[in-house]
């Protein structure tokens, strides 16, 4: 399914994917071009962003998910496959001329999910940087612009 999974449905689908990938090696990081941003359903004026990585170029098997949710300003990173890659998410935003950043690493192996509960004024633009990780390095990074 080429759709951007919302968090509520990701939880159910993830169990099916855990353990699906046992010994995959690859260099590229595949991101569904539909991984994007959409108006928040819970936070008027907010824009949520998702970057979904896949282990394959056909977008069949999840590798990692990065997200920023406008509601509660939640930043998240989730490692979804045993593929030698972790998940990294970074949020950057500016308020009154001061730039702030927050980041989360899910590098503990498949199933590792890290979130950070941020506090950002409504309407502020937030840049989500999503990357895969491997031995401390960041790879295949993509950026999206959300609204807190």
Residue ranges that bind Ca ion, judged by CB under 5 A: 43, 46, 70, 79, 81, 83, 85, 148
| Minimum CB distance to Ca ion, residue 112 (Å) | 8
- Nearer Cβ to Ca ion (90/132): 132
- Nearer Cβ to Ca ion (81/104): 81
The Cα-based distances of 60 to 30, 103, 117, 129 in angstroms read 10, 27, 30, 23
- Nearer Cβ to Ca ion (46/90): 46
Residue nearest to Ca ion as judged by C-beta position = 79
| Minimum CB distance to Ca ion, residue 55 (Å) | 9
| Minimum CB distance to Ca ion, residue 7 (Å) | 15
What is the token pair recorded at 16?
Answer: 């099916």
| Minimum CB distance to Ca ion, residue 99 (Å) | 18
- Nearer Cβ to Ca ion (51/70): 70
- First and final C-alpha spacing in the chain: 28
Distance CA(119)–CA(128), nearest Å, equals 15
- Give yes or no for a contact between 48 and 40, defined as CB atoms under 8 angstroms apart: yes
Q: Could you tell me which of 61, 70, 67, 69 has the C-alpha nearest to residue 24? A: 61
């Amino acid at each position: 399914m080429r759709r951007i999974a919302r968090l509520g449905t990701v939880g159910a689908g993830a169990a099916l994917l855990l353990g699906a990938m046992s010994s995959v090696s690859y260099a590229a990081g595949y991101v569904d071009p539909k991984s994007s941003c959409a108006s928040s359903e819970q936070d008027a004026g907010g824009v949520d962003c998702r970057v979904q990585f896949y282990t394959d170029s056909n977008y069949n098997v999840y590798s990692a998910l990065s997200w920023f949710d406008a509601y509660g300003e939640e930043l998240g990173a989730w490692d979804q496959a045993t593929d030698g890659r972790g998940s990294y998410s970074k949020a950057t935003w500016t308020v009154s001329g001061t730039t702030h950043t927050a980041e989360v690493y899910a590098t503990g192996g498949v199933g590792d999910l890290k979130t950070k509960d941020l506090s950002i004024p409504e309407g502020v633009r937030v840049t989500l940087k999503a990357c895969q990780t491997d031995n401390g390095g960041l790879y295949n990074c993509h950026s999206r612009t959300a609204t807190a």
